[in-house]
Amino acid sequence: MPRIKCHYLDCAFLDEGICSAGMVELDPDTGCKTYSANAESATEDDWDTEEDELEEWEELDEDEDEEIWEEDDTEESY
pLDDT digits (tens, 9 = 90+) for 13-64: 988 989 999 899 999 998 899 988 887 665 555 556 777 788 887 877 776 6
| Whole-prediction pTM | 0.45
Q: What pLDDT was estimated at residue 33?
A: 92
Rounded to whole angstroms, how far apart are CA atoms 43 and 68?
Answer: 38
Indicate the burial class of 19 (C-beta count within 10 angstroms; 0-12, 13-18, 19 or more): buried
The domain spans of the chain are: 1-40, 42-78
With bands split at pLDDT 50, 70 and 90, how would you rate the model's confidence at 76? low
Q: How confident is the model at residue 70 (pLDDT cuts 50, 70, 90)?
A: low
pLDDT for 31: 87
